[in-house]
């Protein structure tokens, strides 16, 4: 499975991830810049905020109340449609490829 992280400067990181890995975890493990994951994936920090690229929006899991709340306090502005917490997006058979834009700041 592939996760693509697009950065504001035009650079992108293409990361191979196994099932069960989250968009946050894969970024942290591979040193992708701009994704922090301070709370370790518990939907309690919002430093794993990403903007999901349009073509993958239909594949995403439902948003929990915790995620919904954390997205209200992201450092970069929330996008009504594309903003998600990277830690809540796990690679599965239905979501085996995804591309996201990394926000300008997480803190
Ligand atoms: Fe903290 Fe996602 S890692 S909310």
Instruction: Give the position, in ligand 1's atom list, of the atom nearest the Cα of 44.
Output: 4
- Span from the CA of 78 to the centroid of ligand 1 (angstroms): 15
If pLDDT is split at 50, 70 and 90, which confidence band does 98 have?
very high
pTM above 0.90, yes or no: yes
**Domains of the chain, residue spans:** 2-101
CB atoms within 10 A of CB 43: 19
Going edge to edge, which strands form the sheet with 83-85? 12-16, 2-6, 97-101, 49-52, 83-85
Q: Is 48 in the pocket of ligand 1 (CB under 6 A)?
A: yes
pLDDT digits (tens, 9 = 90+) for 27-81: 999 999 999 999 999 999 999 999 999 999 999 999 999 999 999 999 999 999 9
Q: Is 23 in the pocket of ligand 1 (CB under 6 A)?
A: no
Say if the ipTM goes beyond 0.90: yes
Give me the CATH topology for the region 2-101: Ubiquitin-like (UB roll) (3.10.20)
């Amino acid at each position: 499975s592939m996760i693509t992280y697009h950065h504001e400067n035009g650079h992108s990181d293409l990361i191979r991830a196994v099932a069960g890995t989250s968009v946050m975890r894969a970024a942290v493990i591979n040193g992708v810049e701009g994704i922090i994951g301070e709370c370790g994936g518990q939907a309690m920090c919002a430093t794993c905020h990403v903007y999901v690229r349009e073509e993958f929006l239909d594949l995403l899991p439902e948003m929990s109340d915790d995620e919904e709340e954390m997205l209200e306090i992201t450092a970069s502005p929330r996008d009504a449609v594309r903003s998600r917490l990277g830690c809540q997006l796990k690679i599965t058979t239905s979501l085996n490829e995804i591309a996201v834009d990394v926000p300008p700041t997480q803190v």
